[in-house]
Structure 1
Amino acid sequence: MFLRLLIPALALLAACNPAPEKPAAAPPPPPGPDIAALTDSTAPAALLTYSRQYPGSEVLFETRLGKIRVKLYDDTPIHKANFLLLARRGVFTETVFNRVVKGFAVQGGQTSDARTIRLRIYRLPPEIRPNHFHVKGALGMARYDDAENPQRLSSNTDFYFAVGKKLTPAQARASASRPLTPAQVQAYATRGGVPALDGAYTVFGEVTEGLDVVEKISQEPVDPRDKWPTHDVGMKVTVVK
């Protein structure tokens, strides 16, 4: 009789005190290299390996002013792979368009967030190609400290969209830092851009949709001291193809 009463009691006790759940397994680390461990010398090989394993060709910027779709070039593979890696890790989502110069360019990829500043420990070798030029909507990578950067290594996070203005063939040729093809002269006349930057910075992509959004960003009111928009223009950047 005692055993009969004890078994239901034990069952009731177990129901009231279930076994503790096992802690959920930690999610696997995202694929690709450890960004914080990359250096100027190790980044190129690591990024090229990443691009072969996890290819991509298009990214989408979402901002409060609209969306911008960008095609990344295959013949600038290091810059392309770096941008894909940082986009997939959500790095750009923590940044803003931090420098807007009307009639010139809108620059993004920087913020006061400690994580982004730490990512600037590595830079990218230049991949300047004669067929890529600074027509309006061109995506390029900034660089810093030219006096101490004779190799003209690019920033890994600070990118820009060329804006500029429409130029006559004579104006385009006069301001260009290298010879322009007839097609490039025509593009600067019909679309506009900044030929003075050609041959000096790596262009690694172009806007395919949302050029009007780039224009809207370029018209944002800014602090006259540092050209930072008075109302932050943040972004979410995702790989879409």
Structure 2
Amino acid sequence: MASCEDTQKSKIKNTGSSSSNTITKVKDSSENKINSSKKKKDKLFLHDEPMLVQEKLIPFLTEYGKKNTENKIRISTRFGDIDIVLYNDTPLHRANMILLIKEGYFNGTFFHRVANGFVIQGGNSDNKDTSIKRNNIGSYLIPSEFEAGHRHTRGAFSAAKYAEQNVSKASSPFEFFIVQSERGAHHLDNDHTVYGKVIKGMDVVDEIAKQPIGEGEWPLINIPITVEILK
């Protein structure tokens, strides 16, 4: 597996998996509970037009990062919690992640790709709500921040990217992955931006990686997530 691609433009429904083939999924009952409990809190539903455009992205995220300095987050799943520290020397990626969390984007998305011995990938779903949220926040790419020098070791928290027409290797703002392999995934170094690391919960990552999958590495039973800021 050479890369970790954002799947927003997939042909599967609105925001399907990394494969263009139809995937049969068993809906987890907790998914609906998360969606119904979080909808009213999701600020992104309140925007009439996209929040961000590419031309204003860097100054916006730079200023946002100065005002929002949090760098520890928690991803909650039915298997347990995964705590992550975000790196301050990847400021655009950190600011974007904090922004999306505060806007409620991730609540109701899934760990939608599971590649045991490689990575688990999150931040997407086949729910219409996810497509609506993406449209509301905007269509943009985050410039790579390879100069920070972080590598894809086990537990690395890294940004997915679009595969098509992306010579700059800019990041998707919406999808992330966690390296599960004991050996790391160093073929992804300087191809994806690492902007954090797991500080607690790699046992949860390993458990998620064991889940049975269908075509496109989409888990047969959905794995909904919620994401919150710790500090």
The interval holding the TM-score normalised by the smaller chain is 0.7 to 0.9
Which of 63, 85, 89 is equivalent to 1:49?
Answer: 63
Offset of residue 145 of structure 1: 2.8
Whether the 8 Å contact between 2:51 and 2:138 is mirrored in structure 1 is: no
For the aligned residue pairs, the C-alpha RMSD in angstroms reads 2.1
TM-score where L is the length of structure 2: 0.74
Q: Match for residue 125 of structure 1?
A: 143
SS at match of 1:139: strand
Offset of residue 129 of structure 1: 3.5
Say if 2:128 is the partner of 1:111.
no
CA separation in 1, counterparts of 2:114 and 2:49?
27
Task: In structure 1, give the amino acid aligned to 2:195.
Answer: F
Offset of residue 34 of structure 1: 9.3
Task: In structure 1, give the amino acid aligned to 2:176.
Answer: F
CA separation in 1, counterparts of 2:49 and 2:69?
17
Offset of residue 216 of structure 1: 0.9
Offset of residue 123 of structure 1: 1.1
Whether the 8 Å contact between 2:155 and 2:178 is mirrored in structure 1 is: yes
Which of 73, 87, 91 is equivalent to 1:73?
Answer: 87
Q: Match for residue 218 of structure 2?
A: 228
Larger Rg: 1
CA separation in 2, counterparts of 1:125 and 1:131?
15
Task: In structure 1, give the amino acid aligned to 2:103.
Answer: R
CA separation in 2, counterparts of 1:195 and 1:151?
19
Task: In structure 1, give the amino acid aligned to 2:170.
Answer: L
Identity of counterpart residues, as a percentage? 32
SS at match of 1:59: strand
CA separation in 1, counterparts of 2:156 and 2:131?
28
TM-score where L is the length of structure 1: 0.71
SS at match of 1:41: helix
CA separation in 1, counterparts of 2:67 and 2:48?
15
User: What 5-or-longer segments of structure 1 have no aligned partner?
Assistant: 1-26, 166-191
SS at match of 2:204: helix
Which of 174, 178, 181 is equivalent to 1:161?
Answer: 178
Deviation readout 1:61-107 (Å, 9 max, x if unpaired): 11000001100000000000000010111111121011111111111
Which of 183, 190, 196 is equivalent to 1:199?
Answer: 190
Runs (4 or more) in structure 1 with deviation over 3 Å come to none
Q: Match for residue 159 of structure 2?
A: 141
With over 3 angstroms needed to count, the CA separation of the structure-2 counterparts of 1:231 and 1:55, relative to structure 1, is same
**Deviation larger for 201-210 or 211-220:** 211-220
Offset of residue 128 of structure 1: 1.0
SS at match of 1:61: strand
Offset of residue 130 of structure 1: 5.7
Task: In structure 2, give the amino acid aligned to 1:159.
Answer: F
Q: 1:209-220 alignment to 2 at 5 Å?
A: 209-220=200-211
CA separation in 2, counterparts of 1:83 and 1:163?
20
CA separation in 2, counterparts of 1:210 and 1:135?
15
How many residue pairs align between the two structures? 184
CA separation in 2, counterparts of 1:121 and 1:100?
25
Q: 1:7-22 alignment to 2 at 5 Å?
A: none
**Greater relative contact order, per chain length (Cα 8 Å cut-off, separation 6+):** 2
Offset of residue 193 of structure 1: 1.1
